[in-house]
Amino acid sequence: MDDVEQELDLLTRRYGDLGIEAEVRSIRDARQRHRLEMDRLNEDFDRIVERRRATLEAIEKLDRTLRALIDDVVGSTRRQRNEGWSPVPVLGFRAWVVEDGRLHGAWEMWPLPRSTATCKRSPDADEVPHTDGRCGPPPCGLYALKRADDLLDVTGWHGARVAIGLVEMSGKVVEHTKGYRAEHMEVIALGVVDPRGVLLIDAPEHLQAAFGGGFDELDGVLPTLQPIETMCFWLEARKERMSWTSENKSA
Ligand SMILES: [Zn+2]
């Protein structure tokens, strides 16, 4: 009861009905009914909030269950079908030719230190690199070799300015005798032949700059008369250290 109602009650006790008693009573009754209705609505509202929370939780739980189920079956199917789908990144080596300050792979220029394979034959982006013979030769995928030294035999870039990188492959990775075809590739260390020797870089921002066309600005050239051998040796050592670290991480 607020101040004016108390005031009215006081004056009514003192002087009798002021002429609005019946109306005041009926308004108060109506107000009381609405207050009870409000209590019921608040209880309903609390129940709905609780049901909403429980439903949301159930949806999220089902999402997680579905994802885990699919991940499991997709992973085991790919392993059974010998697709070589790798849950952990695979390390390998690949080469680029430097032209006009940019790094060119076998098919196209790499503007970034990472790439995802596409298939030129099959518009279906799924399952790249393909293992069912629908494309090639050579079949699609980003290629890398297991040993850096093997790049010396397969590339026809003698005399060209060459870059060799240690790459991390993920997604679908198909294993071949000497190397791999991968869905995703990320360059994690790079050696570039330089007139003064060899430039060795592995900091992400330096790799970004090198692929972005700015590697002439990078310093840290190692003078050497055998640039290819020097970078192969350095990259192989990086790979060994990385394999050792990841084995220890997972142990
Ligand atoms: Zn293909």
- For 195-226, how does the pLDDT look when each residue is reduced to its tens digit (9 = 90+)? 888 999 999 999 999 999 887 788 878 888 88
Instruction: For residue 97, report the distance from its CA to the centre of ligand 1, in Å.
Output: 24
Q: Give yes or no: residues 15 and 131 share one domain.
A: no
Q: Give yes or no: residues 139 and 34 share one domain.
A: no
Q: Give yes or no: residues 95 and 197 share one domain.
A: yes
Instruction: For residue 183, report the distance from its CA to the centre of ligand 1, in Å.
Output: 11
Q: Give yes or no: residues 74 and 125 share one domain.
A: no
Instruction: For residue 218, report the distance from its CA to the centre of ligand 1, in Å.
Output: 36
Q: Give yes or no: residues 110 and 186 share one domain.
A: yes
Instruction: For residue 99, report the distance from its CA to the centre of ligand 1, in Å.
Output: 27
Instruction: For residue 75, report the distance from its CA to the centre of ligand 1, in Å.
Output: 20
Instruction: For residue 138, report the distance from its CA to the centre of ligand 1, in Å.
Output: 9
Q: Give yes or no: residues 29 and 140 share one domain.
A: no
Query: What pLDDT does 251 receive?
Result: 40
Regions of the chain where pLDDT drops below 50: 249-251
Query: What pLDDT does 175 receive?
Result: 87
**Helix 21-80 and helix 3-15, axial crossing angle in degrees, nearest 10:** 160
Instruction: For residue 181, report the distance from its CA to the centre of ligand 1, in Å.
Output: 11
Taking CA atoms, 73 is separated from 87, 176, 182, in Å, by: 13, 24, 21
Query: What pLDDT does 55 receive?
Result: 94
Number of domains in the chain: 2
Q: Give yes or no: residues 57 and 124 share one domain.
A: no
| Domain termination residue (choose one: 78, 107, 127) | 78
How many CB atoms within 10 Å of residue 207? 22
Q: Give yes or no: residues 105 and 229 share one domain.
A: yes
Q: Give yes or no: residues 59 and 151 share one domain.
A: no
Instruction: For residue 231, report the distance from its CA to the centre of ligand 1, in Å.
Output: 31
Sign of CA dihedral 85, 142, 199, 222: positive
Instruction: For residue 180, report the distance from its CA to the centre of ligand 1, in Å.
Output: 14
Q: Give yes or no: residues 24 and 137 share one domain.
A: no
Instruction: For residue 134, report the distance from its CA to the centre of ligand 1, in Å.
Output: 6
pTM for the complete prediction? 0.63
| Domain termination residue (choose one: 43, 78, 113) | 78
How many CB atoms within 10 Å of residue 110? 20
Query: What pLDDT does 200 receive?
Result: 94
Spatial distance between the Cα atoms of 187 and 174, rounded to a whole number of angstroms: 18
Q: Give yes or no: residues 214 and 158 share one domain.
A: yes
Q: Give yes or no: residues 216 and 241 share one domain.
A: yes
Query: What pLDDT does 72 receive?
Result: 78
| Domain termination residue (choose one: 78, 108, 135) | 78
Query: What pLDDT does 228 receive?
Result: 86
Domain interval for residue 69? 3-78
